Amino acid sequence: MIDFVGAGPGAVDLITVRGKNLIEKADVIIYAGSLVNSELLNFAKKGCQIYNSAEMTLEEITSVMVSAEMDGKNTVRLHTGDPSIYGAIKEQMNILDKYNLEYKVCPGVSSLFGAAASLKTEYTIPHVSQSVIITRMEGKTPVPEKEDISLLASHNATMVVFLSAGMLNELSRKLIRGGYKSDTPAAIVYKATWNDEKVIKTTVSEIAKSAEKNNINKTALIIIGDFLGNNYKRSLLYNPSFSHEFRKGD
Ligand code: SAH
């Protein structure tokens, strides 16, 4: 069996119980060495073959999986955070499909959520934002024109920007051009849940300056929105006047 496993955002104990069990059973582990905490590999059994996918091509990765499968071995493909977010898993799965090989996915805690925990915040606040936009700046990987950050910014919703720590001046410009006020609260979360995590509160116009001051140019999420401020109304769910299936209001 081949299991795609979410390693979580960084802290070793933020992998799921299932993910840890799969690592313990694995004969082969291919881990994303650039971001996965290598301490997770200590859970591997003796003799487990370990590969760092940061040094491999798609073809090399899938050929390791295919030959392990032919030998009846258990393979774990360990991805950072949750594999469904910028994980490039589809292309691996398509190759496995061609060989008629079975695989499963074990979810992980995305850095999106690791960062929210580090910020001690809620992305969805009544009357402020009820939507979370997960996006990135265009880099070597193109972003569809209709998803340009300046278009997404027009919603003024909560926005979490991945893979963009090296393009922060341009990010701010797009955010402001799109409709966020320049003093809209923003946060930079570097290496969320790792020991050397940094959490920086700033504003949309100051994102690049704040990152530079703190020497951050990678492994960060940029998080934008009024939910980071203190202007909000309490939820209906726990309001004494509100009735619902489990509680009668006054
Ligand atoms: N699948 C991963 C994301 C992989 S893309 C997830 O669910 O989190 C890699 C990008 O994710 C990085 O460039 C950075 O923007 C972000 N990232 C990953 N781990 C992070 C962490 N611990 N703290 C902040 N950002 C992180």
Nearest-10 crossing angle of helices 58-70, 90-98 = 40
Q: Which residues pair with 196 in a beta bridge?
A: none
**Cα-only R_g, the chain:** 21
Task: Please state the pTM of the whole predicted model.
Answer: 0.95
Report the C-alpha dihedral over residues 77, 110, 131, 89, rounded to 10 degrees.
Answer: -10
> Do residues 75 and 30 lie in contact, with contact meaning Cβ atoms separated by under 8 Å?
yes
188 lines ligand 1 (CB under 6 A): no
- Residue 211 confidence (pLDDT): 98
Report the C-alpha dihedral over residues 54, 223, 216, 183, rounded to 10 degrees.
Answer: 160
**Furthest-apart CA pair in the chain: how many Å?**
65
Taking the CA of residue 217 as centre, how many other CA atoms within 13 Å lie in the half-sphere pointing to its CB?
A: 6
How remote is the CA of residue 7 from the centroid of ligand 1, in Å?
A: 11
> Do residues 214 and 198 lie in contact, with contact meaning Cβ atoms separated by under 8 Å?
yes
Residues in the chain with pLDDT values less than 50? none
- Residue 12 confidence (pLDDT): 98
14 lines ligand 1 (CB under 6 A): no
Q: Which atom of ligand 1 is nearest to the CA of 108?
A: 7
- Residue 249 confidence (pLDDT): 86
Determine the Cα–Cα distance for residues 181 and 166; give it in Å rounded to an integer: 22
Pocket test for ligand 1, best of 38, 111, 195 (most atoms within 8 A of CB): 111
199 lines ligand 1 (CB under 6 A): no
* Residue 201, helix vs strand vs coil: strand
82 lines ligand 1 (CB under 6 A): yes
Determine the Cα–Cα distance for residues 229 and 9; give it in Å rounded to an integer: 25
